[in-house]
Structure 1
Amino acid sequence: MSTIAKEIEVELQTTPNLYAKELKAKFQQMHQVQLMESKMRRVKTIAFQRKDGDHTKQYTHLRSYIDELLKANPENFLGLDGCFMKGKYPGQILTAVGTDGNNCLCLVAFAIVEAECTDSWKWFLDLLGDDLDLPHDANFTFISDRQKGLIQVVESVFPRAEHRFCCRHIHENLRQTWRGDLYKGLFYMAASATSVPYFNMAMEEIKKTNLDMFLWLSEIPAAGWSRSHFSGRAKSDMLLNNLCESFNKQLVGARDKPIITCLEYIREYMTMRIATVKKMQATVRGPLTPQATKAWDEIQTEASKLTVMMVDEVTYQVKSLRSQCVVNVEDRTCTCRR
């Protein structure tokens, strides 16, 4: 049977989603030999094991693989995601993803766990805190899809952390009851409001339109989903958990693989990303990354349209055609909160 598997392995390399019935027809055409579909399914399994490795055997080699990885990369970060494994053994890939100086995806840590539950998240966040040298009272900021058990775990492991909730996930739950662009627009108007008065106006509009929706939203702490209530510690007004979702898409080709093959897929993907970043760094002219330079140029263009008046040594009044705000250069704050 392994001889047959070797012959169809090339076929599976180009078209891995062929059904056993299609493989049977191809083999019959090649050799004028008819095989049962059940046997062809076993042949397909053997062919994939030759290509990717054995699901069961790779678990027995996992500790050795980790030891070798640490020897080669003693300071390497591991990445965690939040998606299902699709292979022979069920599980979850948890990920912690951030951004680098060029505002691009940067995988910080990852782990494979049996299930996405309170114990798994606590284990992961405890290790993440150790790796990043985060104290128990760290003023860190997290954003998530409000996964089961995660909210309570973040409060337990990092009680002073800011925990934001992905607005796309909230809207997906909201639209199960209140569908349509009207409700979506009202929700995102409240979510994107940068100050409390504008947030209150948006919520009042929701209340007038649909009281039940207003009461439903009111049960979710605004500090988790509206810019008007963000602490400002993290210099990011991100409302969507696009970082993890973007990384999840890169794992499509790894999630059905045996565990070490899966881990190697992730490692090789991140190695290529790091190499790309290094090439980009070599082309940079000036003190900032390309994305930071672009943002700085846009800020300068916008600033040229403003009128500034000094109030005292650290406070300035800034006016545009549509609004007026107060900037404190010592605290690096602005009343617009944008």
Structure 2
Amino acid sequence: MVKVRKLGYSETKKLRQTIKRRDIKNFQPVTKLFSLIRLVFVDLNCQTQRDKDMKWQLIWVYLLAALTTVAHPGIGIVQNSKGEIFYTDTERIWKVSPDGNSKTLVVPNVHTHELYMDAQDNLYGEHLWYEGETTNKWGHYVWKYDARGKFSKVRPAAEGFLRNYSFVRDTAGCMYWLVSSKNGSDWMKMSPNQKIEWLATVPTKDVRSQFCGKDGTFYYVDDNDLCKIVGNKARVVALDLDGITGEDPKRKPNNSIYGVWDDPVGNVYIAVTSKKMVKKVTCDGRVFVVYKSPFSWMPTGGVVDKKGNLWILETNQLNVVRVVKS
């Protein structure tokens, strides 16, 4: 016999609060899932209180796993000239002391995924919001937190998503990004004086994370292969970083890999979130696992400080974010 009942008020409230903390780029599928869960769920006709408790634990595990699947965690973690670490938890920006013993809230109330720190210790990010199903509109602005601690908007609030702008930049402040085109992806550049130019068209399948190394090399993840552009031509650096050979039609959307970063000597690091590990690709192309997240945690980004220490940005199914010094 199957019993059907509505979720209670406290259960509904907790679900709604959890959903609101998730990434809003996939908001509508999550709200549809929430609506279905709220209307009805199946009681497995448990005979004992222990069975009921176990059932509820399983329900919450599956619900949180489902929410995590569609969530887009932050990848932004950077270092300034003083050795201080800045990172996003998608709701605010934190500053961590060089020794890792203390942290300070520096920018509240910003839904930010990526961060960029310039040579003058100015920090940049985007605030993105969704107005709700009534208007079904999105909005954004680009903010700056300067070396003196002053917050300002460098791009005013506007409707829609951020376009023709990137937090992937070289040491001169030039922005780079890939945009889907007829023959793959167009590699674009914007100079500090706001001049946009096309650099090349490269063949791509499923472009994800993008990164500009300290030496100016532009890297990108394409179907979980690490690639770079050399002389306006695409080159594969490392294949199948997620351990899956070739394209996986079941992997939609592709959230296997998030942050990409480098160290002072040119090694590249990749947060293979689906495998709960960070991989290092050396300058000569060798690939190593250099970090594994503990149970319930998964890496989304990282940075190597001036002393060579590896800092990992991690999140879990409850959308808790932390930074660990490896």
TM-score, normalised relative to structure 1: 0.25
Instruction: Kindly indicate which of the two structures has a greater share of residues assigned to helix.
Output: 1
Instruction: Kindly indicate which of the two structures has a greater share of residues assigned to strand.
Output: 2
TM-score, normalised relative to structure 2: 0.26
